[in-house]
Amino acid sequence: MGRRRFLQAAGLAGLNAALSRWPAMAGPFTAADFERLVPSDKRLNPVWVKSLFERGQPEIWRGAELRNVGLPIGGIGCGQVYLGGDGRLWYWQILKPNYSTDYAGATSGLHYAQPLEPVSLLEQGFGLRITTDGKTQIRELDARGFSEVSFRGEYPIGKVQYRDAGCPVSADLEAYSPFVPLDPESSGLPATVMQYTLKNTSPKLVEIEIAGWVQNPVCLYDDQPALGVRRNRVSRRDGLLTLEGSAEPPTSRSRHEKRPDIIFETFEEEKVPRLDLYRHRLRTRTS
């Protein structure tokens, strides 16, 4: 058997084996169909083609499944941030190259088999203050604040729902980063949009306030205070309320300035008897 005939026979055998296990997408084919690299007639199964255009059902994650959710939510080329299953941000691969030895090679296939723990090195989140009938309750917009949380991921958008029988308010989060096909400038903005929709599910009047917080990550890992002092500034301009985190060189009066060491005890020879006396008293009181 020649090389061409052998490859044709092997290809047909493999195709028949595949079609015997799954619904046929195309075919049947003959040896003549493989004379050309790409056959003009693909003989696609019309039932299979129709299924491609049918509306599917979204996949919803709940409970313990939320720990395995990490939807990329950072702008293209802007580092990496993950949206967790309960709406909190984690991973934060925008802070330091050696972020954590546990996260080394995070883009490898290994982490699909052994998912990373959704750990955030920053204090960050959103919460609600709800007042009704003169009573106020504060709930964090995550799995700690609501008993029923569900996640629906449709990249580049992540949707999280918050429900609780003891809360008169439901919340929905739609999170995404700017992603515009064929527009790399807009898709590369270092921004993550967190859009919350709140609804009063009770027949009573409810007053709701939403608040967000984030830790200043500038110089977060610098052990030497001389490298900078972190500053937080809040400003309002053009209809936007902005929190700016930065770092500045420390001043001489900075509370982060390193102070000289203070000698508490030198333990010189002439003071050894006093130390022994102290040990003796300590044993006496203990007994």
Domain co-membership, 74 together with 12: no
Domain co-membership, 258 together with 274: yes
pLDDT at residue number 258: 61
**Residue at a domain's end among 214, 236, 259:** 214
Which of 156, 141, 153 shows the shortest CA–CA distance to 68? Answer: 153
Which of 230, 242, 217 shows the shortest CA–CA distance to 92? Answer: 217
Domain co-membership, 231 together with 121: no
Domain co-membership, 186 together with 221: no
pLDDT at residue number 273: 47
Q: Which domain holds residue 233?
A: 216-287
Angle value at C-alpha 78, between 67 and 75, nearest 5 degrees: 70
pLDDT at residue number 259: 65
**Residue at a domain's end among 164, 188, 214:** 214
Domain co-membership, 210 together with 222: no
Number of domains in the chain: 3
Which of 125, 137, 127 shows the shortest CA–CA distance to 206? Answer: 137
**All residues at 6 or more sequence positions from 235 whose CB lies less than 8 Å from its CB, including other chains:** 241, 242, 244
Domain co-membership, 115 together with 177: yes
**What is the DSSP secondary structure assignment for residue 261, as one 8-state letter?**
P
CA atoms within 13 A on the CB side of 22: 9
Domain co-membership, 155 together with 285: no
Domain co-membership, 74 together with 181: yes
Domain co-membership, 125 together with 257: no
Question: What's the token pair of residue 161?
Answer: 């729902």
Domain co-membership, 118 together with 259: no
Q: One digit per residue, pLDDT tens: the chain, 287 residues?
A: 555 555 555 555 554 544 444 556 676 777 777 666 777 777 788 888 888 898 888 899 999 999 989 999 988 888 888 999 999 999 888 765 544 444 544 555 676 777 778 888 888 999 999 999 999 999 999 999 999 999 999 988 999 999 999 999 999 999 999 888 899 888 888 889 999 999 999 999 999 999 999 888 887 765 555 566 888 899 998 888 888 888 887 765 555 556 677 766 666 655 544 444 444 444 444 44
Domain co-membership, 66 together with 195: yes
**Residue at a domain's end among 52, 76, 93:** 52
Question: What's the token pair of residue 241?
Answer: 């309320």
CA distance 160 to 151: 5
Domain co-membership, 231 together with 209: no
